[in-house]
Amino acid sequence: MAKVLIVDDSKLIRNIIKDELKKKGHQIVAEATNGKEAIEFFKDKSPDLITMDITMDEMDGLEAIKEIYKIDSKAKIIVVSALGQDELINSAIDMGVLDFIIKPFEPERLINSVNKAL
Amino acid sequence: MQISEERYKEMVKQAFDHIMEVMFNNKNAKDSIKIISAPPPTEKREIAILIQFTDGLEGKLIFACSKETAIKITKKLAGIKEETEIKLEDQKKVFKDSLGELMNILSGKMAYSLQRDFGTIRLTTPTIITGSDLIITIYDISSMSTYLESQFGIIELTLTLN
């Protein structure tokens, strides 16, 4: 069982991720709606894994990923985003994220990615 | 560089077919959405969602539909029972969350299709506009509209380019 932080500005997507991960026995330690909240929750909750959206108000996912890696370069992050363009995927992978899931996704895609990351 | 109307319609259809299959769990997605030439004159625009393209392509994608259609899509996406009423004070927030995410995904898929021609395209977060019968006029250089007939009702999608 892993402690997971879900970052997405859409409650709909947070609920989908939350339901799928809970079914597999993972614990959702917090849900953030933007990058700033994600950093605060990361510091406060020390999650084992983060699912991170990219397009969000206040601070986007790529900025948040940079900041999180400054705090812990070994943080485990999976991007879950509607933006699936090659350059964005490559830059996120170069930053160190473990996987890049493009929305909409099948539940198995998420679970496989989480299992691999952990 | 311009986008032809034919290519635009093809992109919209492909994106919606995939969204219907994955997000709405409709395995017969290809038959469930049909492009029509124009909506019936009685069709109302009461909800609109706008996402802006920036960087590689400057423009806007606007989704518009009736409130009834918006409610049907929202209930299906959020797993809300058909008989459950969405309170008036919650509607704007719920529409932004569900239709906004639908538009985010649709825009993301279009940006992916266009990356070879325009490079990396960034998206803004969705803006929701509500009213009783919206007439949206955007003064960009070009605009194309397509109308989709779905199980939820008619959806209008307009792409404007600066």
How far is it, in rounded angstroms, from Cα B136 to Cα B129?
Answer: 10
Handedness of CA A30, A35, A41, A42 (dihedral sign): positive
Does B115 contact chain A (CB < 8 Å)?
yes
pLDDT digits (tens, 9 = 90+) for A17-73: 999 999 999 999 999 999 999 999 999 999 999 999 999 999 999 999 999 999 999
Strand order in the sheet with A99-102: A27-32, A3-7, A49-52, A77-81, A99-102
Write down the pLDDT at residue B1.
Answer: 59
Please determine, looking at this structure, whether the domain spanning A3-117 carries the CATH number 3.40.50.1100. no
Q: Choose among A65, A48, A62: nearest CA to A5.
A: A48
Cα of A13 to nearest chain B Cα, Å: 8
Chain B: residue whose CA lies nearest to A9: B97
Contacts of B103 in chain A (CB under 8 A): none
CB B128 within 8 A of CB B96: yes
Q: Which CATH number characterizes residue B26's domain?
A: 3.40.1550.10
Does A59 contact chain B (CB < 8 Å)?
no
Cα of A98 to nearest chain B Cα, Å: 21
- pTM score, two decimals? 0.89
Overall domain count for chain B: 1
pLDDT digits (tens, 9 = 90+) for B58-96: 999 999 999 999 999 999 988 888 888 888 888 888 998
* Tokens 């959702």, residue located: A28
* In the predicted structure, residue B53 carries a pLDDT above the cut 90: yes
- Range name among A14-18, B6-10, B24-28 with the lowest pLDDT average: B24-28
Q: Coil, helix or strand for B99?
A: helix
Q: Would you mind telling me the total number of residues written for chain A in this entry? A: 118
Q: Choose among B113, B24, B16, B112: nearest CA to B75.
A: B24
* In the predicted structure, residue B28 carries a pLDDT above the cut 80: no
Contact A87 B119 (CB under 8 A): yes
Mutate to test the interface with B, among A13, A15, A85, A100 (most CBs of B within 10 A): A85
Name the residue ranges covered by the structural domains of chain A. 3-117
B109: containing domain: 5-161
Q: Which of residues 7-26 of A touch B (CB under 8 A)?
A: 9-13, 15
